[in-house]
């Protein structure tokens, strides 16, 4: 029974370590097709203390065209159309790129890290992801959004209780949950260690009998 309890605990840990939130974002950009514009991606902590969290932009696809070199600010790495990785370790984490819009645009947003897998109960601010589109290369004229102040088409708030809240400012933008990611490699290592420990314990018990 003790061995089964230990194994159950490890299995729970593996489940937690692999937990995240994934959303598939699809935008109908046909009304601004051919526009030489831009878009912006941000993942920022709140104004007080935010627990560590990470965000990836995966599977970026469009019949539009990325233009020029992206501008990266803060803790963000990568370049579209490959994977972008953000963390909330600095106050402003931003990816901005010029873009000639086509008829459609899609991407997957993946949120993970301690703030989702093990909330500390002491942090006082969440974090927020924001996606914006603009009809100019400078990023000053919001497109396909009702948010005339910040130009956000979509925001995803990461709350203190490890839940998320989506706000969609764009009638042309759809957001649906995506398939959950596979467990992180470190989780498999932990599971393998637990199983090896269980096997060793069983072998010792058998030897002791004889």
Q: Is residue 131 part of a domain?
A: yes
Pair 86, 187 in one domain? no
Range of the domain at 198: 183-210
How far apart CA 206 and CA 172 sit, in angstroms, is 65
Residues 148 and 197 in one domain: no
The alpha helices in the chain, defined as continuous H runs, are 2-17, 114-117, 185-209
Do residues 148 and 202 share a domain? no
Same domain, 138 and 93: yes
CA-based angle 47:50:54, to the nearest 5? 120
The mean pLDDT value for 64-84 works out to 97
Mean of the per-residue pLDDT values of the chain:
86
Asked whether residue 59 falls in the same domain as residue 27, the answer is yes
**Number of domains present in the structure of the chain:** 2
* Rounded CA separation 3/150 (Å): 55
What per-residue confidence (pLDDT) applies to 192?
55
pTM of the complete model: 0.77
Scan for tokens 């990461």, then name that residue.
158
Residues 69 and 141 reside in one and the same domain = yes
Q: Does residue 107 register a pLDDT over 50?
A: yes
For 159-173, what is the mean pLDDT? 97
pLDDT at 45 > cutoff 80 = yes
Tell me, what's the pLDDT at 161? 96
């Amino acid at each position: 029974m003790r061995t089964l309890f230990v194994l159950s605990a490890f299995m729970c840990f593996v489940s937690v370590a692999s937990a995240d939130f994934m959303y598939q974002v699809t935008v109908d950009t046909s009304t601004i097709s051919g526009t030489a514009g831009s878009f912006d991606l941000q993942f920022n902590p709140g104004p007080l203390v935010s627990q560590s969290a990470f965000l990836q932009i995966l599977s970026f696809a469009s019949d539009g065209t990325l233009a020029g070199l992206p501008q990266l600010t803060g803790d963000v790495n990568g370049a579209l159309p490959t994977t972008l990785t953000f963390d909330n370790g600095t106050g402003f984490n931003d990816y901005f790129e010029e873009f000639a819009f086509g008829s459609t645009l899609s991407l997957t947003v993946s949120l993970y890290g301690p703030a989702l897998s093990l909330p500390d109960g002491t942090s006082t601010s969440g974090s927020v992801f924001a996606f914006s589109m603009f009809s100019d290369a400078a990023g000053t004229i919001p497109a396909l959004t009702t948010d005339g102040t910040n130009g956000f088409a979509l925001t995803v708030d990461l709350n203190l209780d490890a839940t998320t809240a989506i706000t969609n400012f764009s009638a042309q933008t759809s957001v649906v949950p995506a398939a959950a990611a596979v467990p992180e490699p470190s989780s498999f290592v932990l599971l393998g260690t637990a199983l090896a420990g269980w096997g060793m314990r069983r072998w010792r018990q058998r030897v002791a009998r004889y």
